[in-house]
A and B are shown apart, each in its own frame.
Chain A
Amino acid sequence: MVLIAYWLSKRLINPIKVITEEVNLIGTENLHVRLDVSDNEDELTQLIRTFNNMLDRLETSFETQKNFISNASHELNTPLTSIIGEADVALARDRSAEEYVDALQQILKEAEKLDKKTKALLYLAQTGFNGKVLVFDKVRIDQLIFDVHKTINRIHPDNKIVIDFSLLPENPEMLKIKGNEQLLHLALSNILLNSYKYSSNQSVKVSLGLAENQVILVVTDSGIGIPKDELQYIYDPFFRASNTRNFEGYGIGLPLTRNIIKIHKGELNVYSVQNEGTIVEIKLPVGKYTL
């Protein structure tokens, strides 16, 4: 009797001991280690699988952060190198007033680029934070679309953005969501500016509708699209698709937009066919405001 009990307890405890030892080996330097998983379907194996999945997510998260930091320093370094180079050359010997003015203008241009990049990065980092206190209030999405359209009209008066409200709910009061207007404005402007930029000024359509408990926003363009095998990378900070060489940009807009949508507990989906166009679908949960 005692023997059976002893044997049983060893059988149960042993695998757990093995796991404990293996887990102790895992640290930030070797997050790639995974626990051995057998083919059974028992609870312990499921636990091991869950644990391995968690390690996958942690590792991805760490890699993304490492990537972000190295990408960020590279991105900030480039204009700085330009500025230093330009200044060095200008000071190397006596130059004419014109040459100094030229050099200073170059330096100013690069400095402004640097300024924009750091602001964008800060924003990205801030929105990635969970602890940041944001003001969430009622936001009418139809009004938001009008506001963003106005903003873009100011920057690019030649835009061909068309607002399609043909599927708007009969009661537009229901288009209220609980959110931060500035962030949502930024998110939507990013998407629309992208569509405008990569469409070589063909028309861009913004449609709005209301499903059961979600506001659906769809932005359609017929621009250069995104290559199929690069679609999975579009949310990586600084990623720029291979067909964007003729267009200026830093690759920060989309990751930022996705963060903002995530903060609002929404969904962002991008569908695209290269050289045919891109469709961006944003879903946001309806605010529980009594009408």
Chain B
Amino acid sequence: MILTDFSIDSLYLVKKALDDYEDQSVNILMVHGVDVSSYPSDLLFFSKSVLYSKLVSEEFKEACSVLRNRYSSRINSFRFDFFTGFTNAAFGNFLEGNKVDKIYVAGNFQSRHLSGMSADITGFVRKCKTEKVEVKYVTSEEGPVSGQLARLFQMNA
């Protein structure tokens, strides 16, 4: 499982995970924390697919495709999901339900709060019992190609 803020830089974690599991096939789950409000009226209109189309840029999808094609034989599945719970227990259930073996988190992860609803779930990650891997990477928010597909080719595994 990989915590993502849907930035192309965060795909560095995917690369790292794939390099770590060189001779096995992996199921990749990209997770973004979401703070769903407790007002029934908001809950009524909350939809994961709408949120997905709002937060995920075309460039990000293309970058994921490039990675999928590069490691096609080793990637069993490549999914996205939102974690909407707010307790450690809920997170534990989420991990169990998705059969997560390992969580990749950026050591210096500062989620670009993409929408008013994005939540920082690194706290849950730290407290859970699943094996974690912390990866340090350098984000360059101001580089000329930040947010563009070309950024994927700048990151070195």
Contacts and interface: CB of A to CB of B under 8 A. Distances in A.
A162 to B, nearest CB: 12
Interface string B55-73: 0000001110111011111
B38 interface: no
Contacts, number: 71
A88 interface: no
Interface residues of A, number: 27
A28 to B, nearest CB: 39
Interface stretch (A60-68, A203-211, A241-249): A203-211
A167 B73 CA distance: 14
Per DSSP, chain A at the interface is: strand
Interface string A138-178: 00000000000000000000000000101111110010000
Contact count band on B = 20 to 34
Contacts of B152: 167, 209
Nearest to B67: A167
A211 B66 contact: yes
B62 A211 contact: yes
Interface stretch (A93-101, A104-112, A266-274): A266-274
Interface string B63-107: 101110111110000000000000000000000000000000000
Given A207-B153, A220-B150, 16 more contacts: A166-B157, A170-B70, A174-B69, A211-B149, A212-B61, A216-B62, A216-B66, A218-B149, A271-B145, A273-B143, A276-B144, A277-B144, A279-B150, A279-B154, A281-B145, A281-B150
